[in-house]
Structure 1
Amino acid sequence: MPQTDRLGSDTPHLALYLPHRPNNMEHLVDTPSAQALVMANSNHWRKIVTLLAKIASPAAEDWRQFRDGPLFQNTALCFNPELNNHARWHWIGGKDNLGRFTPLTHQAAPLAGCPEVTIDPALRLLLTPYPDYRQLSNQTVERIRAALTALDFYGEPLP
C-alpha cells in the first residue's frame, strides 16, 4: 500500500506538517480519530493531537471535545514537505522540519513574548518548535491563540 501524505480533512482549516508518519496509518486514513491514532501509537502522538486541538479548537475551553470529536474533520496532519494548497492555515512544527520545505519564502515575524514562534499572516503560516509540551507550554498556546484570534483564524467558518 502506498504511503499517504495526509491524515484528516482534504480541506483543513489548519494543516500541521510533521516530519514522520504515525504507525498503522493505513488503518487510520479512512476514519481518522485522535483516540485511534493514540491507541495505535504512543503518548508522543497524544501530545501532538492535544496541542493541535488546543490551537485549532474554535473555543479554547472546548479543546478536549474538539480533539475527541471533529478534530480531523477540520484539521490534517501532513507529512510531505510542501504546503497543502487546500489548507486555510499552515503550521510547520520544528526547525528541522521547516528545513525540509525548500524553497519556502516567508516573512514570518516573532510572536510578542514568544520569539520561538513566528507567524506570516500573508501566507497564513505558523512556525513553532516541534509540538511537544516542553516546547509549547499552555502559556505559549494561549499567546498563539491570541495572535490567531487577531488574524480572524477563529472567526472563519470551519469547513
Structure 2
Amino acid sequence: MPEPDYLGSRRPRLVLYLPHRPKGLAQLVHAPDARALVAANSNHWRKIVTLLAKIACPDADGWRRFRDGDLFRYTGLCFAPALVNTGSWHWIGGKDNLQRFTALLHNARPLANSPDVSIDPDRRLLLTPYPDYRQLSNALVSRIRSSLASHGFYND
C-alpha cells in the first residue's frame, strides 16, 4: 500500500509541502500529533514542526503550546508535488522541492531584505528555503510572519 501524501487538518490555514515523508506516517494520519511525529523520527522533524508552528501560530509567543497541542488542527503536511485544494496558504520549503511543482504558475515576489523568501498573496503561496534553523532564522521567521499578517493570514 502506498504511503499517504497528507497529514493534518482537512481545513488547514497553512499547508507545508515537503519532498520526503516521516517514519510512521500511515499511523499518524489517523491521529495527527506533532509530539508523536517527533518521537518516531529524528531531530530533523522537530525542527520542521517547530518552524511550522512558529509561522502558523496566531500568537507568536505561543508557538510551543500550538506545536504540542493544536498544530495539526490548523496546518497540514503534504508530500505530493501538487497544491491541495483547501483554500489555505501553501508553503513550499526548498528550491529543489519547488522544482517538483512543474505546473505551478505563480507571481511570487521576494520579501524586502530576504531574497530567498517570496510570497504570492493572490495564490496564497509562500516560497522559502528548506525549513531548517540554518535557513530560517528567528529574524527571518519574524519577517515572514509580518508579511503573512499584512496579507490577512492571521485573521482568516
TM range (shorter): over 0.9
| Distance in 1 between residues matched to 2:124 and 2:26, nearest whole Å | 29
Q: TM-score, normalised by structure 1?
A: 0.96
| Distance in 1 between residues matched to 2:155 and 2:30, nearest whole Å | 29
| Distance in 2 between residues matched to 1:107 and 1:52, nearest whole Å | 23
Matched, 1:78 2:78: yes
Letter in 2 for 1:144: I
Aligned to 2:48: 48
| Distance in 2 between residues matched to 1:94 and 1:47, nearest whole Å | 14
Alpha-carbon contact 1:15-1:87 (below 8 Å) kept? no
1:49-95 per-position Cα deviation (integer Å, ceiling 9, x unaligned): 00000000000000000000110010000000000101410000000
| Distance in 1 between residues matched to 2:131 and 2:70, nearest whole Å | 20
Structure 2 residue runs of 5 or longer lacking an equivalent are none
Letter in 1 for 2:89: W
Letter in 2 for 1:12: P
Secondary structure class of the residue paired with 1:154 = helix
Aligned to 1:130: 130
Q: How many residue pairs were aligned?
A: 156
Runs (4+) of structure 1 moved beyond 2 Å? none
Q: TM-score, normalised by structure 2?
A: 0.98
**Worse-superposed segment, 2-11 or 116-125:** 2-11
1:24 to partner: Cα distance = 1.1
Aligned to 2:16: 16
Over the residues paired in the alignment, what is the CA RMSD in angstroms? 0.7
1:92-149 per-position Cα deviation (integer Å, ceiling 9, x unaligned): 0000000000111110000011110000000000000000000000000000000001
Secondary structure class of the residue paired with 1:69 = helix
Output aligned runs, 1:1-159, within 5 Å. Answer: 1-156=1-156
Secondary structure class of the residue paired with 1:140 = helix
Structure 1 residue runs of 5 or longer lacking an equivalent are none
Secondary structure class of the residue paired with 2:76 = strand
Which one has the bigger helix percentage? Answer: 2
1:2 to partner: Cα distance = 2.8
